[in-house]
Amino acid sequence: MKKKALKANTQCIHAGTYTDPKSLGINTPIFNSTAHVFPNVQGKIVYPRHLNTLTQTAVAEKLAILEGGQNCLVMSSGMAAISTTLLAYLKQGDHVIFHNVLYGGTQDFINDELTRHGIQFDMVHSNKARDFARAIKKNTVLIYVESPANPLLDIIDLKALAQIARQHRVLTVIDNTFATPINQRPLELGIDIVVHSGTKYLNGHSDLLCGAIITSSRLMKPIHRCALNYGGTLDTLSCYLLERGLKTLGLRMAQHNQNAQALAKFLNGHPRVKKVLYPGLASHPGHKIARQQMSGFGGMLSFELNCEPSSVKAFIKRLRIITPAISLGSVESLICLPSETSHGKLTPKQRQKQGISDSLIRLSVGIEDIRDLVNDISQALTAVKTKA
């Protein structure tokens, strides 16, 4: 069966699966040997850190097919995927362009590690592809973005960005964690490399730390070498959990999309809500482009209440189903204040520059019954004292 020709929901379940010829089990077995007979018929060293055990290659193939790439490396965390990809392509004296709104951990990596390695960078305070073009210098090697971005759900025109980057022979990397390949396939839009925190939607059950890198075989070569050297590859047992989670990715994303759209609409019309950021709302500045490049708007939304700052915490405290927690992208609805969590390490000034106010609330909408979620938010909003 040619798995590439199948639809995403079918690929989630069938692509990459390794069938053990002796047991004929339906699932890829957990091959957890770290030692393999050598020399073997392929003359290859099989070793989990090299990412070539059958359990690892099965889940990597599933992800490669879902993203429409030739190759995938599964990593021990999203940050392992991001740091390995960046360090594989960057050296002292190189220049990188980042979008100014990024996952907090990625910002810390840029500030701490790139600086230490003598790698120059600029942050683009705009979603427009032409503003990224303006930031390109002679020594620019790479452009790195998130779309939708954490936590303001900024949308960047990926096709336009990829075109500009190609003209200047600059590589493009996207963190596709928020969208997943179900909602957005950046490689088809011309982006070179996709990275993921698989900890979020890909696994989807808040019980596994993992990451992934997907690209062409050619572009993967230096990343693969770097992955073996730094050693942040995913262990075999975790690969099994990731493969299990991925089987329901399509189903989960459909429900995340539907629930988030309904909640965004509900919040948008509520008198105690000041503003809602969700790419699925026509009022969102990135809505038009999101409609072109995404097949679903995702499960993440942010909003601000029309209230005194103290009421924000009272609101969160009153929620009964939606849980205050760090992290996102799992079956249960989670809520947090980015100023205290994902972007807590930034200075208040840096946050202000990015538009992340102290009362901005980020909601990772789960796949619970939408009626229960609306009721939960509705009752908690009664704790909010509106500004006079």
Ligand X SMILES: *Cc1c(COP(=O)(O)O)cnc(C)c1O
SS3 label, residue 309: helix
Establish if 355 lies at the interface with ligand X (CB under 6 A).
no
Q: In the annotation, is 345 catalytic?
A: no
What's the rounded Cα separation, in Å, for the pair 151 and 365?
A: 13
Give the number of residues in contact with ligand X, rule: CB under 6 A.
16
Q: Using CB under 6 A as the criterion, what x/- string covers residues 251-290 for binding ligand X? A: ----------------------------------------
Residues in the chain: 388
Shortest Å, Cβ 255 to ligand X: 19
Q: What value does the CA radius of gyration of the chain take, rounded to a whole number of Å?
A: 21
Q: In the annotation, is 175 catalytic?
A: yes
Residue closer to ligand X, measured from CB, 150 or 333: 150
Task: List phi, psi (to 5°) of 386.
Answer: -70, 150
7 contacts: CB under 8 Å, gap ≥ 6: none
Shortest Å, Cβ 143 to ligand X: 16
What's the rounded Cα separation, in Å, for the pair 312 and 248?
A: 34
DSSP alpha helix (H) spans, the chain: 8-14, 54-67, 78-89, 104-109, 115-116, 129-134, 158-167, 180-183, 217-230, 236-246, 249-268, 287-293, 309-318, 348-354, 370-381
Q: Using CB under 6 A as the criterion, what x/- string covers residues 75-104 for binding ligand X? A: --xxx-----------------------x-
Closest residue to bound ligand X by CB: 78
Establish if 204 lies at the interface with ligand X (CB under 6 A).
no
What's the rounded Cα separation, in Å, for the pair 265 and 263?
A: 5
Establish if 211 lies at the interface with ligand X (CB under 6 A).
yes
Q: In the annotation, is 207 catalytic?
A: no
Task: Please pick, from the candidates 57, 184, 199, 203, the single residue that binds ligand X as defined by CB under 6 A.
Answer: 199
Task: Please pick, from the candidates 61, 67, 94, 146, the single residue that binds ligand X as defined by CB under 6 A.
Answer: 146
What's the rounded Cα separation, in Å, for the pair 9 and 320?
A: 32
Considering only 124-132, 197-205, 344-352, 379-387, which stretch makes contact with ligand X by CB under 6 A? 197-205
Residue closer to ligand X, measured from CB, 48 or 211: 211
Residue closer to ligand X, measured from CB, 103 or 315: 103
Tokens for 176?
Answer: 């596709």
Residue closer to ligand X, measured from CB, 29 or 105: 105
Q: Which of 94, 154, 175, 192 is catalytic?
A: 175
Q: Which of 49, 265, 274, 313 is catalytic?
A: 49
Considering only 58-66, 71-79, 162-170, 239-247, which stretch makes contact with ligand X by CB under 6 A? 71-79
Q: Which of 62, 185, 200, 252 is catalytic?
A: 200
Establish if 338 lies at the interface with ligand X (CB under 6 A).
no
What is the Cβ-side half-sphere exposure of residue 344, based on CA atoms within 13 angstroms?
Answer: 6
Residue closer to ligand X, measured from CB, 45 or 326: 326
Is residue 236 within 8 A of residue 53, CB to CB? The reply is yes
**Residue 163, amino acid:** Q
Q: In the annotation, is 200 catalytic?
A: yes
Residue closer to ligand X, measured from CB, 331 or 374: 331
DSSP 68: T
What is the Cβ-side half-sphere exposure of residue 66, based on CA atoms within 13 angstroms?
Answer: 34
φ/ψ region of 219 (left if φ > 0, alpha if ψ in -120 to 50, else beta) reads alpha
Residue by residue, DSSP assigns 207-268 as ----EEEEE-HHHHHHHHHHHHHHT-BPPHHHHHHHHHHHTTHHHHHHHHHHHHHHHHHHHH
Task: Please pick, from the candidates 175, 202, 278, 343, the single residue that binds ligand X as defined by CB under 6 A.
Answer: 175
Task: Please pick, from the candidates 197, 261, 333, 364, the single residue that binds ligand X as defined by CB under 6 A.
Answer: 197
What residues line the site for ligand X (CB under 6 A)? 77-79, 103, 105-106, 146, 150, 175, 177-178, 197, 199-200, 209, 211
Tell me which residues are annotated as active site: 49, 103, 175, 200
